Amino acid sequence: MAKIKTSYFCQSCGFESAKWLGKCPSCQQWNTFVEEIIDKGPKNAPEWKSTNTSAGRVNKPAKVQEIVYAEDHRLITPDKELNRVLGGGVVGGSLVLIGGEPGIGKSTLMLQLALTIPKIKILYVSGEESEQQIKLRAERILPKPTSECYILTETSTQNIFKQIELLEPNLVIIDSIQTLHSAHIESTPGSVSQVKECTAELLRFAKETHTPVFLIGHITKDGMIAGPKILEHMVDTVLQFEGDRHHVYRILRAIKNRFGAASELGIYEMQGNGLREVSNPSEILLSQREEPLSGVTISATMEGLRPMLIETQALVSASPYGTPQRSATGFDTKRMNMLLAVLEKRCGFRLGAKDVFLNIAGGIRVEDPSIDLGLAAAIISSHEDMPVPYKICFAAEIGLSGEIRAVTRIEQRIAEAEKLGFEQIFISKYNKKGLDLSKYSIEVKTVAKIEEVFGLLFG
């Protein structure tokens, strides 16, 4: 018998070592190394139809001028939000990894996709649920599916590939990659070596047969996708399904995308019969209040190519303790501290002994610096207890010297504010170059310093 080879893997980052280590030299985590069997002798590649036909082919180098480029024909799904995040549809032969917290709706999203794509054959492989459980969910989502969807409850990759060869599906969904195991590796399902091997087999299948494959992945308590980091490097697209289980809205965000922009996001609403697409997110992110409130402003932000108006909230109060509290939900705390320092240094507002709390309404997280001006106005509005008129919105970045800096795609931001009925929008005067203000019915205020904004708003 061949000698069994073992190695030690870090369960946090996938670092491989020949011996056990107390601390991982890669991710600096303690007690994460586990011994796994990596080779039990010669192994054969998994047998599927494409492997048998291409076994005699030998790859040879080719000049870049001689390579024939064929335009990728994307599979357009009925889910417009998913199409946007993927860059225009599902690319043939692509490997897509979807991660998210337990119970957030990953399986619901994929089963809903499998039930609604017409005229193609889809194989939904589940290693976590029985056929009866999936049938119950399918009845709740779509009692009469419009696609040819097949369900397979299996965890062995060899058996899965046998069924794929018999069925010849046009799309494969794996739920989840942590439950699969390959007979070529003797470690348990979900281990680093098993996840790498199963993903490599599915990657070879996707590229050789030109069949798109969706993988559902678990995440760790830190929010990272479970398994080695190489898992994210192997796949073509990494999607993150985010949201609070106590709220109805979910966000599908592209972290990596080889076939489109990696900054797009899709928004869904969780309902009893599945996920509903939210085509106009600005309307759900803005609260319909009847009376003006202090500390609340509206900011125009961009997520990929999509403009959105979001509600930025601030609360400034006297600190009962010696050290004031600083807390931000949905916004970078370090950037909040920078804005507070600018307001104190350049505008003279005494915020050093105040508790400051920021919140981005709707449960989303924003990294666009264009909401700086809206947040600063919300902070001063709460500090002075003077409400900002509801029909005013903001789209500008604030520099350390208190200057109002220009932001990108200002025309789309202005058009979105105009569409939702706003009367004024504050932008940087450096955005005015090449901007035709006559085509907008909304009043565009151009400012250069932060003091001008507070003078116009609060007098």
Residues annotated in the binding site for ATP, as ranges? 100-107
Q: Name 378's Cβ contacts closer than 8 Å, sequence gap at least 6.
A: 295, 296, 297, 312, 313, 314, 358, 388
Q: Residue 46 carries which DSSP code?
A: P
SS3 content of the chain, % helix, strand, coil (to 5): 30, 30, 45
- Which runs of E-coded beta strand occur in 361-442? 392-394, 397-398, 404-405, 424-428
Q: Which residues contact 185 (CB under 8 A, 6 or more apart)?
A: 36, 37, 38, 193, 194, 197
User: Binding site, residues?
Assistant: 100-107
Query: Tokens 């494959």 sit at which residue?
Result: 213
Three-state secondary structure along 189-255? CCCHHHHHHHHHHHHHHHHHHCCCEEEEECECCCCCECCCCHHHHHCCEEEEEECCCCCCEEEEEEE
Amino acid at 236: D
Question: Backbone phi, then psi, for 397, in 5-degree steps?
Answer: -100, 150
- Write down how long the chain is: 459
Give the torsion sign (CA, 154, 160, 163, 164).
positive
The count of C-alpha atoms lying within 13 angstroms of the C-alpha of 281, restricted to the half-sphere facing its C-beta, is 25
Query: Degrees (nearest 5) of the Cα angle 28, 179, 16?
Result: 30
Closest CA to 95 of 204, 225, 14, 226: 204
Nearest Cα neighbor of 369 from 299, 423, 280 is 299
Nearest to 336 by CA among 406, 398, 263, 425: 398
Chain centroid to Cα 430, Å, comes to: 32
Contact criterion met (CB below 8 Å) for 371 and 335: no
CA angle at residue 379 from 373 to 385, to 5 degrees? 130
